[in-house]
Amino acid sequence: MANAKEKDSHVNSAFSSRKSKLLQQIVELDDLERSLINELQGDLPLVEKPFLAVADKIGSTEQEVIKCLQQLLDKGVITRFGPLFDISKGSGCFSLCALKVPESRISEVTEVVNSFTQVAHNYLRENEWNMWFVLACEDQKVLTETFDNILLQTQCRGINCPKEKEFFIGLYLPV
Amino acid sequence: MSSILNRVELEKRIIELTQAGLPIESRPFKTIADKLGISESAVVAIFDSMKQKGLVRRIGLVPNHYAIGYLFNLMTVWDIEDSDIDQVGKSIGELDFVSHCYQRPRHLPDWPYNFFAMIHGKTEQEANEKMQQIADLVKDSCSQFTALKSCKILKKTGLRI
Protein backbone atom coordinates (compact mmCIF):
# COMPACT_ATOMS: atom_id res chain seq x y z
CA MET A 1 0.00 0.00 0.00
CA ALA A 2 2.82 2.35 0.93
CA ASN A 3 4.33 1.62 -2.44
CA ALA A 4 1.16 2.34 -4.34
CA LYS A 5 0.78 5.60 -2.49
CA GLU A 6 4.33 6.59 -3.17
CA LYS A 7 3.92 5.78 -6.84
CA ASP A 8 0.72 7.80 -6.97
CA SER A 9 2.29 10.87 -5.45
CA HIS A 10 5.26 10.53 -7.77
CA VAL A 11 3.00 10.33 -10.82
CA ASN A 12 0.95 13.30 -9.74
CA SER A 13 3.91 15.49 -8.92
CA ALA A 14 5.35 14.68 -12.31
CA PHE A 15 2.15 15.79 -13.96
CA SER A 16 1.82 19.02 -12.07
CA SER A 17 5.46 19.94 -11.56
CA ARG A 18 5.67 22.23 -14.53
CA LYS A 19 2.82 24.70 -14.61
CA SER A 20 3.12 26.62 -17.83
CA LYS A 21 2.28 30.27 -17.97
CA LEU A 22 -1.29 30.85 -19.01
CA LEU A 23 -0.32 33.46 -21.56
CA GLN A 24 -3.38 34.19 -23.65
CA GLN A 25 -2.31 37.07 -25.84
CA ILE A 26 -0.62 37.26 -29.22
CA VAL A 27 3.12 37.88 -29.12
CA GLU A 28 5.02 39.60 -31.96
CA LEU A 29 7.68 37.24 -33.29
CA ASP A 30 10.89 38.04 -35.14
CA ASP A 31 12.20 36.00 -38.08
CA LEU A 32 14.46 33.80 -35.98
CA GLU A 33 11.71 33.04 -33.48
CA ARG A 34 9.36 32.20 -36.31
CA SER A 35 11.76 29.80 -38.06
CA LEU A 36 12.67 28.18 -34.77
CA ILE A 37 9.03 27.60 -33.82
CA ASN A 38 8.32 26.11 -37.23
CA GLU A 39 11.46 23.98 -37.26
CA LEU A 40 11.14 22.62 -33.73
CA GLN A 41 7.52 21.59 -34.06
CA GLY A 42 9.29 18.84 -35.95
CA ASP A 43 12.01 16.73 -34.43
CA LEU A 44 15.33 17.78 -32.88
CA PRO A 45 18.17 15.80 -34.52
CA LEU A 46 19.70 13.19 -32.22
CA VAL A 47 23.29 14.39 -32.48
CA GLU A 48 25.82 15.69 -29.95
CA LYS A 49 25.17 19.32 -30.83
CA PRO A 50 21.52 19.37 -31.86
CA PHE A 51 21.14 23.17 -31.69
CA LEU A 52 24.09 23.60 -34.03
CA ALA A 53 22.35 21.28 -36.50
CA VAL A 54 19.15 23.34 -36.17
CA ALA A 55 21.10 26.59 -36.56
CA ASP A 56 22.74 25.34 -39.76
CA LYS A 57 19.35 24.39 -41.13
CA ILE A 58 17.65 27.72 -40.46
CA GLY A 59 20.69 29.92 -41.15
CA SER A 60 21.54 31.02 -37.64
CA THR A 61 24.20 30.23 -35.03
CA GLU A 62 24.13 27.70 -32.23
CA GLN A 63 24.38 30.46 -29.64
CA GLU A 64 21.53 32.46 -31.15
CA VAL A 65 19.30 29.38 -31.32
CA ILE A 66 19.93 28.49 -27.68
CA LYS A 67 19.29 32.05 -26.52
CA CYS A 68 16.15 32.42 -28.61
CA LEU A 69 14.67 29.09 -27.50
CA GLN A 70 15.23 29.92 -23.83
CA GLN A 71 13.56 33.31 -24.32
CA LEU A 72 10.54 31.76 -26.05
CA LEU A 73 10.13 29.48 -23.07
CA ASP A 74 10.63 32.30 -20.52
CA LYS A 75 8.11 34.51 -22.32
CA GLY A 76 5.54 31.71 -22.43
CA VAL A 77 5.38 31.68 -26.25
CA ILE A 78 6.16 27.98 -26.06
CA THR A 79 4.92 25.84 -23.21
CA ARG A 80 7.53 23.11 -23.44
CA PHE A 81 10.78 22.13 -25.04
CA GLY A 82 11.92 18.55 -24.72
CA PRO A 83 10.90 14.99 -25.44
CA LEU A 84 7.16 14.50 -25.91
CA PHE A 85 6.33 11.22 -24.30
CA ASP A 86 3.45 9.13 -25.51
CA ILE A 87 2.03 8.36 -22.15
CA SER A 88 -0.32 5.70 -23.52
CA LYS A 89 2.85 3.68 -24.25
CA GLY A 90 3.90 4.05 -20.64
CA SER A 91 1.89 3.42 -17.52
CA GLY A 92 -1.16 5.44 -16.55
CA CYS A 93 -4.74 5.90 -17.54
CA PHE A 94 -6.29 8.97 -19.15
CA SER A 95 -9.68 10.30 -20.08
CA LEU A 96 -11.43 13.39 -21.36
CA CYS A 97 -14.40 14.25 -19.16
CA ALA A 98 -17.06 16.96 -19.24
CA LEU A 99 -19.42 18.54 -16.77
CA LYS A 100 -22.62 20.49 -17.33
CA VAL A 101 -22.04 23.46 -15.02
CA PRO A 102 -24.71 26.12 -14.43
CA GLU A 103 -23.39 29.57 -15.41
CA SER A 104 -23.69 30.87 -11.84
CA ARG A 105 -21.54 28.03 -10.41
CA ILE A 106 -18.60 28.14 -12.82
CA SER A 107 -15.98 29.63 -10.51
CA GLU A 108 -16.98 27.48 -7.56
CA VAL A 109 -16.94 24.28 -9.65
CA THR A 110 -13.64 25.28 -11.32
CA GLU A 111 -12.06 25.50 -7.91
CA VAL A 112 -13.27 22.04 -6.92
CA VAL A 113 -12.26 20.40 -10.22
CA ASN A 114 -8.83 22.07 -10.34
CA SER A 115 -8.10 21.01 -6.78
CA PHE A 116 -7.83 17.39 -7.97
CA THR A 117 -4.17 16.74 -8.82
CA GLN A 118 -5.40 14.18 -11.36
CA VAL A 119 -6.89 17.00 -13.47
CA ALA A 120 -4.22 17.80 -16.05
CA HIS A 121 -6.03 20.33 -18.27
CA ASN A 122 -9.33 22.05 -17.79
CA TYR A 123 -11.05 24.21 -20.41
CA LEU A 124 -14.25 26.18 -20.36
CA ARG A 125 -16.13 25.73 -23.63
CA GLU A 126 -19.23 27.21 -25.22
CA ASN A 127 -21.75 24.39 -24.90
CA GLU A 128 -24.22 23.10 -22.34
CA TRP A 129 -21.37 20.63 -21.58
CA ASN A 130 -19.12 23.54 -20.74
CA MET A 131 -16.30 22.25 -18.56
CA TRP A 132 -13.88 19.83 -20.26
CA PHE A 133 -10.93 18.35 -18.44
CA VAL A 134 -8.40 15.57 -18.83
CA LEU A 135 -7.91 13.12 -15.99
CA ALA A 136 -4.51 11.48 -15.65
CA CYS A 137 -4.46 8.64 -13.14
CA GLU A 138 -2.27 5.68 -12.39
CA ASP A 139 -4.91 3.12 -13.34
CA GLN A 140 -8.53 2.66 -14.39
CA LYS A 141 -9.75 2.15 -10.85
CA VAL A 142 -8.33 5.47 -9.63
CA LEU A 143 -9.69 7.19 -12.72
CA THR A 144 -13.23 5.94 -12.14
CA GLU A 145 -13.04 6.85 -8.46
CA THR A 146 -11.71 10.31 -9.24
CA PHE A 147 -14.45 10.95 -11.81
CA ASP A 148 -17.15 9.77 -9.37
CA ASN A 149 -15.64 11.92 -6.67
CA ILE A 150 -15.72 15.00 -8.91
CA LEU A 151 -19.41 14.36 -9.68
CA LEU A 152 -20.13 13.94 -6.00
CA GLN A 153 -18.29 17.05 -4.91
CA THR A 154 -19.61 19.29 -7.69
CA GLN A 155 -23.13 17.83 -7.88
CA CYS A 156 -22.95 18.34 -11.64
CA ARG A 157 -23.89 15.97 -14.44
CA GLY A 158 -20.84 14.53 -16.12
CA ILE A 159 -19.69 12.34 -18.99
CA ASN A 160 -16.50 10.31 -19.13
CA CYS A 161 -15.15 9.94 -22.69
CA PRO A 162 -11.92 7.91 -22.74
CA LYS A 163 -10.40 7.59 -26.17
CA GLU A 164 -11.28 4.34 -27.89
CA LYS A 165 -9.17 4.89 -30.94
CA GLU A 166 -6.65 7.49 -32.00
CA PHE A 167 -6.51 8.37 -35.67
CA PHE A 168 -3.95 11.10 -35.72
CA ILE A 169 -1.88 13.19 -33.43
CA GLY A 170 0.56 15.80 -34.52
CA LEU A 171 0.20 19.49 -34.15
CA TYR A 172 1.82 21.79 -36.65
CA LEU A 173 0.90 25.44 -36.41
CA PRO A 174 2.96 27.41 -38.93
CA VAL A 175 3.81 30.98 -37.90
CA MET B 1 26.88 -3.56 -22.43
CA SER B 2 23.98 -2.91 -20.11
CA SER B 3 21.51 -5.64 -19.35
CA ILE B 4 17.84 -5.35 -20.37
CA LEU B 5 16.91 -4.42 -16.83
CA ASN B 6 19.51 -1.69 -16.80
CA ARG B 7 18.18 -0.35 -20.06
CA VAL B 8 14.65 -0.11 -18.63
CA GLU B 9 16.00 1.54 -15.50
CA LEU B 10 17.99 4.03 -17.59
CA GLU B 11 14.93 4.88 -19.68
CA LYS B 12 13.02 5.59 -16.49
CA ARG B 13 15.77 7.86 -15.18
CA ILE B 14 16.00 9.68 -18.51
CA ILE B 15 12.23 10.25 -18.49
CA GLU B 16 12.44 11.62 -14.95
CA LEU B 17 15.32 13.91 -15.88
CA THR B 18 13.66 15.29 -19.01
CA GLN B 19 9.96 15.37 -18.24
CA ALA B 20 10.26 19.03 -17.32
CA GLY B 21 12.24 19.63 -20.52
CA LEU B 22 15.55 19.06 -22.26
CA PRO B 23 18.47 21.26 -21.14
CA ILE B 24 18.77 24.16 -23.59
CA GLU B 25 22.53 24.16 -24.00
CA SER B 26 25.11 23.11 -26.55
CA ARG B 27 25.32 19.44 -25.56
CA PRO B 28 22.06 18.56 -23.79
CA PHE B 29 22.60 14.82 -24.06
CA LYS B 30 25.99 15.14 -22.37
CA THR B 31 24.42 16.95 -19.39
CA ILE B 32 21.98 14.07 -18.98
CA ALA B 33 24.75 11.51 -19.48
CA ASP B 34 26.91 13.12 -16.78
CA LYS B 35 24.03 12.94 -14.30
CA LEU B 36 23.58 9.24 -15.03
CA GLY B 37 27.27 8.38 -15.24
CA ILE B 38 26.96 7.00 -18.76
CA SER B 39 28.28 8.20 -22.09
CA GLU B 40 26.70 10.87 -24.25
CA SER B 41 26.38 8.41 -27.12
CA ALA B 42 24.52 5.99 -24.83
CA VAL B 43 21.94 8.68 -24.02
CA VAL B 44 21.49 9.44 -27.71
CA ALA B 45 21.06 5.72 -28.39
CA ILE B 46 18.44 5.37 -25.65
CA PHE B 47 16.45 8.32 -27.03
CA ASP B 48 16.70 6.76 -30.46
CA SER B 49 15.29 3.47 -29.18
CA MET B 50 12.52 5.21 -27.19
CA LYS B 51 11.52 6.99 -30.42
CA GLN B 52 11.46 3.75 -32.34
CA LYS B 53 9.25 2.18 -29.68
CA GLY B 54 6.93 5.17 -29.80
CA LEU B 55 7.52 6.06 -26.16
CA VAL B 56 8.96 9.38 -27.34
CA ARG B 57 6.91 10.90 -30.15
CA ARG B 58 9.52 13.52 -30.95
CA ILE B 59 11.88 15.95 -29.25
CA GLY B 60 10.82 19.49 -29.88
CA LEU B 61 8.77 22.41 -28.72
CA VAL B 62 5.10 22.87 -28.00
CA PRO B 63 3.85 26.33 -28.93
CA ASN B 64 1.37 28.18 -26.79
CA HIS B 65 -1.21 28.40 -29.55
CA TYR B 66 -2.71 31.63 -28.21
CA ALA B 67 0.65 33.39 -28.18
CA ILE B 68 1.39 32.51 -31.79
CA GLY B 69 -1.96 33.77 -32.99
CA TYR B 70 -4.08 30.62 -33.14
CA LEU B 71 -6.83 32.12 -31.05
CA PHE B 72 -9.61 29.89 -32.24
CA ASN B 73 -9.33 26.40 -30.99
CA LEU B 74 -12.42 24.45 -31.92
CA MET B 75 -13.12 21.07 -30.47
CA THR B 76 -15.44 19.64 -33.12
CA VAL B 77 -17.59 16.64 -32.26
CA TRP B 78 -19.31 14.35 -34.75
CA ASP B 79 -21.98 11.69 -34.68
CA ILE B 80 -20.55 9.18 -37.14
CA GLU B 81 -22.11 5.93 -38.30
CA ASP B 82 -20.30 3.24 -36.28
CA SER B 83 -19.57 1.13 -39.33
CA ASP B 84 -17.90 4.07 -41.10
CA ILE B 85 -15.76 5.35 -38.25
CA ASP B 86 -12.45 3.79 -39.26
CA GLN B 87 -12.66 5.14 -42.77
CA VAL B 88 -13.88 8.58 -41.62
CA GLY B 89 -11.21 8.74 -38.92
CA LYS B 90 -8.52 8.01 -41.44
CA SER B 91 -9.66 10.67 -43.89
CA ILE B 92 -10.12 13.36 -41.23
CA GLY B 93 -6.74 12.45 -39.75
CA GLU B 94 -5.12 13.16 -43.09
CA LEU B 95 -6.30 16.79 -43.12
CA ASP B 96 -3.34 18.98 -42.20
CA PHE B 97 -5.34 21.38 -40.00
CA VAL B 98 -6.58 18.66 -37.66
CA SER B 99 -4.24 18.21 -34.73
CA HIS B 100 -5.84 15.33 -32.86
CA CYS B 101 -8.76 13.08 -33.67
CA TYR B 102 -10.23 10.32 -31.60
CA GLN B 103 -13.14 7.95 -31.38
CA ARG B 104 -14.81 8.26 -27.95
CA PRO B 105 -17.94 6.68 -26.45
CA ARG B 106 -21.41 8.23 -26.89
CA HIS B 107 -23.49 8.88 -23.79
CA LEU B 108 -27.05 8.67 -25.04
CA PRO B 109 -29.30 10.56 -24.77
CA ASP B 110 -27.05 13.29 -23.32
CA TRP B 111 -24.16 13.07 -25.70
CA PRO B 112 -24.62 11.58 -29.17
CA TYR B 113 -21.13 12.30 -30.51
CA ASN B 114 -18.56 9.53 -30.96
CA PHE B 115 -15.78 11.32 -32.82
CA PHE B 116 -13.67 14.31 -31.73
CA ALA B 117 -11.41 16.39 -33.99
CA MET B 118 -9.40 19.37 -32.77
CA ILE B 119 -9.04 22.28 -35.17
CA HIS B 120 -6.89 25.39 -34.65
CA GLY B 121 -7.38 28.59 -36.62
CA LYS B 122 -6.12 32.15 -36.57
CA THR B 123 -9.59 33.57 -36.99
CA GLU B 124 -13.01 32.29 -36.11
CA GLN B 125 -13.90 32.29 -39.80
CA GLU B 126 -10.85 30.19 -40.68
CA ALA B 127 -11.70 27.64 -37.98
CA ASN B 128 -15.33 27.48 -39.11
CA GLU B 129 -14.31 27.02 -42.74
CA LYS B 130 -12.11 24.13 -41.72
CA MET B 131 -14.99 22.54 -39.83
CA GLN B 132 -17.19 22.93 -42.92
CA GLN B 133 -14.51 21.19 -44.97
CA ILE B 134 -14.76 18.19 -42.64
CA ALA B 135 -18.55 18.34 -42.79
CA ASP B 136 -18.44 18.12 -46.59
CA LEU B 137 -16.02 15.23 -46.41
CA VAL B 138 -18.09 13.12 -43.99
CA LYS B 139 -21.63 14.13 -45.02
CA ASP B 140 -22.67 10.58 -45.97
CA SER B 141 -21.64 9.11 -42.60
CA CYS B 142 -22.52 11.91 -40.21
CA SER B 143 -25.94 12.70 -38.81
CA GLN B 144 -24.99 15.71 -36.66
CA PHE B 145 -21.99 17.69 -35.52
CA THR B 146 -21.15 20.76 -33.51
CA ALA B 147 -18.19 22.82 -32.34
CA LEU B 148 -17.19 23.62 -28.80
CA LYS B 149 -15.22 26.82 -28.89
CA SER B 150 -12.85 27.22 -25.96
CA CYS B 151 -13.49 30.37 -23.97
CA LYS B 152 -10.96 30.00 -21.21
CA ILE B 153 -8.13 27.81 -20.01
CA LEU B 154 -8.97 26.96 -16.40
CA LYS B 155 -5.97 24.75 -15.73
CA LYS B 156 -2.99 23.60 -17.73
CA THR B 157 -0.05 21.49 -16.62
CA GLY B 158 2.98 20.38 -18.59
CA LEU B 159 1.42 17.04 -19.34
CA ARG B 160 0.62 16.61 -23.02
CA ILE B 161 -2.05 14.07 -23.74
| Cβ neighbours, 10 Å, residue B42 | 16
Q: In this model, does residue A173 exceed pLDDT 80? A: no
Residue type, A75: K
For residues B93, A79, A14, A88, the Cα torsion angle rounded to the nearest 10 degrees is: 10
Give the up-direction half-sphere exposure of residue B159: CA atoms within 13 A in the CB hemisphere: 27
Reported confidence tier of residue B55, pLDDT bands at 50, 70, 90: confident
Distance from CA of A73 to the nearest CA of B (A): 9
Task: Summarize the confidence of residues A71-86 as an average pLDDT.
Answer: 91
Report the CATH number of the B72-149 domain: 3.30.70.3460
Q: How far is the C-alpha of B41 from the C-alpha of A47, rounded, in Å? A: 9
Per-residue pLDDT reduced to its tens digit, B109-127: 999 999 999 998 888 999 9
Distance from CA of B37 to the nearest CA of A (A): 16
- Cβ neighbourhood burial of A45 (10 Å; 0-12, 13-18, 19+): middle
Task: List Cβ neighbours of A8 (8 Å cut-off, separation of 6 or more).
Answer: A138, A142
Distance from CA of A14 to the nearest CA of B (A): 8
Cis-peptide, bond into residue B109, ω within 30° of zero: yes
For residues A12, A13, A16, A17, the Cα torsion angle rounded to the nearest 10 degrees is: -160
Pick from A23, A123, A165: CB nearest B89: A165
Q: How far is the C-alpha of A152 from the C-alpha of A157, rounded, in Å? A: 9
Q: In this model, does residue A18 exceed pLDDT 80? A: no
Task: Summarize the confidence of residues A117-142 as an average pLDDT.
Answer: 92
Of B160, B159, B130, B161, nearest to B147 (Cα)?
Answer: B130
Boundaries of every domain in chain B: 4-53, 72-149
Given CA atoms B43, B48, B51, B53 in this order, what sign does their dihedral have?
negative
Per-residue pLDDT reduced to its tens digit, B24-38: 999 999 999 999 999
C-beta atoms of B153 and A122 within 8 A: yes
Q: How far is CA A35 from the centre of its chain?
A: 23
Look at residue A167 in the predicted model and tell me its pLDDT. 84
Q: How far is the C-alpha of B15 from the C-alpha of B18, rounded, in Å? A: 5
Q: Identify how many contiguous H helices and E strands chain A contains and give both numbers.
A: 6, 6
Task: List Cβ neighbours of A116 (8 Å cut-off, separation of 6 or more).
Answer: A135, A146, A149, A150
Per-residue pLDDT reduced to its tens digit, B128-137: 999 999 999 9
Any chain A CB within 8 A of the CB of B40?
yes
Q: How far is the C-alpha of A101 from the C-alpha of B97, rounded, in Å? A: 30
Question: Which residue in chain B is spatially nearest to A70 when comparing CA positions?
Answer: B24
Topology adopted by domain A88-161: Alpha-Beta Plaits (3.30.70)
Residues of A132-148 as b/e, b for ≥16 C-beta within 10 angstroms? Answer: bbbbbbbeeebbeebbe
Per-residue pLDDT reduced to its tens digit, B75-84: 999 999 999 9
C-beta atoms of B21 and A82 within 8 A: yes
Q: What share of chain B in percent tops pLDDT 90? A: 62
C-beta atoms of A26 and B66 within 8 A: yes
Phi, psi of A48 (to 5 degrees): -60, -45
Q: Residue B117's beta-bridge partner residues? A: B76, B101
C-beta atoms of B161 and A121 within 8 A: yes
Q: How far is the C-alpha of A119 from the C-alpha of A135, rounded, in Å? A: 5
Q: In this model, does residue A172 exceed pLDDT 80? A: no
**What ipTM was estimated for this complex?**
0.73
Phi, psi of A26 (to 5 degrees): -75, 135
Reported confidence tier of residue A61, pLDDT bands at 50, 70, 90: very high
Look at residue A8 in the predicted model and tell me its pLDDT. 35
Q: How far is the C-alpha of A146 from the C-alpha of A117, rounded, in Å? A: 10
- Cβ neighbourhood burial of A127 (10 Å; 0-12, 13-18, 19+): middle
Q: How far is the C-alpha of B93 from the C-alpha of B119, rounded, in Å? A: 11
